[in-house]
Amino acid sequence: MVRTHIKINLSFICNHFCKKKILFKASCDISKEPVEKGYGYLLTTAQVVSSKKFWDNIMTEPETMSYTVSHFKGDDEMATKMRFMIFEKHSTVEKAWMVSDSYINLFDVDKKEARDNAHKWWEQEGTFVPENVGKAEDTLESNTFEEIKKYAVMEAGRERVA
């Protein structure tokens, strides 16, 4: 009987005080949907913000559509400033982006390399860092960065508003 009592107490103690390994999880940095372990694609900020499809998507989401409509109708200078702030928020991300299968088609990237990088990221529980990670302004040529910024702020979503 004493042994049983000790086992119960050890079990109780371990259940409450032993360190448990936390399950490593990820979600898509665009949609916030969960990404199952071993899946997804790992992209740099430069790769993400270089996509016109990405900007068309971002600038026409329900949360941003009113700014896009106002921007193109010329009703509100503040709307253009908000679009610039949205661009800044995304282009200054310094870490790699986990992108789900649902959103990878927004990007013209080497999908095999992006998938391989995601596998490395999963294996290293999020510590793997691909080449050229960092803010877009720091990793892209300045003229390329300016072209992307101009499209994102001034043109993205135009076709969905007209």
Would the pLDDT of 131 be above 60?
Answer: yes
Provide the pLDDT for residue 147. 98
Residue 74 and residue 72: Cα distance in Å, rounded?
5
Cα–Cα distance measured from residue 160 to residue 140, given in angstroms and rounded to the nearest whole number: 28
Is 69's pLDDT higher than 80? Answer: yes
Asked if residue 58 lies in contact with residue 100, where contact means CB atoms within 8 angstroms, the answer is no
Residue 9 has pLDDT above 70, yes or no: no
Burial profile 2-26: b = 16 or more Cβ within 10 angstroms, e = fewer: eeeeeeeeeeeeeeeeeeeeeeeeb
**Confidence band, pLDDT 50/70/90 cuts, at residue 87:** very high
Distance (Å, whole) CA 86 – CA 75 = 19
Q: What letter does residue 144 receive in the DSSP assignment? A: H
Amino acid 18: pLDDT: 58
Residue 141 has pLDDT above 60, yes or no: yes
Which pLDDT tens digit goes with each residue over 10-22?
555 555 555 555 6
Which pLDDT belongs to residue 29? 97
Give the dihedral sign, CA 147/153/157/162. Answer: negative
